[in-house]
Amino acid sequence: MVERFFCRLRTCLALVLLAAMAAFSAPSGTARAGDAATLNVLGFSSDGAIFAFEEYGVQDGSGFPYANRYYIDTATDTFMPGSPIRKRIDDETASVAEARAQAKAVGETTISDALLAANRGVTAGFNPITELSADPFRMVVNPRPVNPPVDAPLEVRLIELPFLATGSCEGIADQIAGFRLTQIDAEPGGTTRLLTEDDSVPASRGCPLGYAIGGIQTFFPDKADPVFAVLIAIRSFGFEGPDFRWMAVTAPTTP
């Protein structure tokens, strides 16, 4: 499984002190919120072997702009060489556009944005982190916009898994969250396919509080088998409130 977001490591004492200072110094009634990264699907290679997306925003606490890019081998659900690409400009006067341009310049040494855009695939389902009515743990889609459908429904389900908080997460919470992701075949006699399951929570996720299925991107290459990417929003501990980052799990549409 591939981890898809940038995490700032800090000691537990520093986290507690900084959070306390922010709460003490903020005027009464002032709203504080964590940093929610903006997601942008870049697309696939023409044969579906690579899936790429970016996330970007401004860090809570520091005010520094950042941009991260992820290039994934869809067959193995692992990073391509040189990925992930993480750019942060430690200057509050710098723009997010500058950080994105830096990440793009590096990412295009793997595959050009133009090629990815030409094979963007289909956003078969999408729930932003602001969506309150959708089920964050289940998504069922028609894999492509053909009606009546010519494909079986694509269904994925996510289950959060509790883990003991360790390392830099100790003192923040007793537990942090991992997850299991499965693909469900709801047809009679269908089977459930395990896409990924945490046996521990990687340090690169920071201190995750929970997850939600954010979207499914599908792609049907002309001369290769169809593939899909499940985009997962990660809610983690931040300076001014929960931070949101993104990751993706990729797989062939059929085993």
Three-state secondary structure call for residue 181: strand
On the question of pLDDT at 28 being above 90, the answer is no
Question: CA-CA distance, 1 to 50, in Å (whole number)?
Answer: 15
* Angstrom distance (rounded) from CA 66 to CA 48: 28
Determine the average pLDDT of the residues in 89-107: 97
Backbone angles phi, psi at 151, to 5 degrees: -115, 155
Q: How far apart are CA 160 and CA 107, in angstroms?
A: 31
Pairing verdict, β 122-126 and 138-141: unpaired
What is the arithmetic mean of pLDDT over 162-171? 89
Tens of pLDDT along 47-96? Answer: 999 999 999 999 988 899 999 999 999 999 999 999 999 999 999 999 99
Q: What is the pLDDT of residues 169-228, one digit of tens each?
A: 988 888 999 999 999 997 888 889 999 999 999 888 889 999 999 999 999 999 899 999
Give the list of residues 6+ apart from residue 143 with CB closer than 8 angstroms, or none.
122, 124, 151, 153, 154, 218, 220, 226, 228, 253
Strands (E), the chain: 38-44, 50-58, 65-73, 78-79, 85-88, 122-126, 138-141, 154-164, 175-184, 192-197, 208-219, 227-236, 243-252
User: Model-level pTM?
Assistant: 0.85
> Contact, 225 vs 213, CB < 8 A?
no
Is residue 20 pLDDT above 60, yes or no?
no
Cβ atoms of 93 and 63 closer than 8 Å: no
Q: Please compute the mean of the pLDDT values over residues 232-248 and round it to a whole number.
A: 90
Question: From CA 63, how far away is CA 255, in angstroms rounded?
Answer: 44
**Residues 6 or more apart in contact with residue 27 via CB below 8 angstroms:** none
Domain extents for the chain? 12-23+35-252
Amino acid in position 3: E
Q: What is the pLDDT of residues 109-153, one digit of tens each?
A: 999 999 999 999 999 999 999 999 999 999 999 999 999 999 999
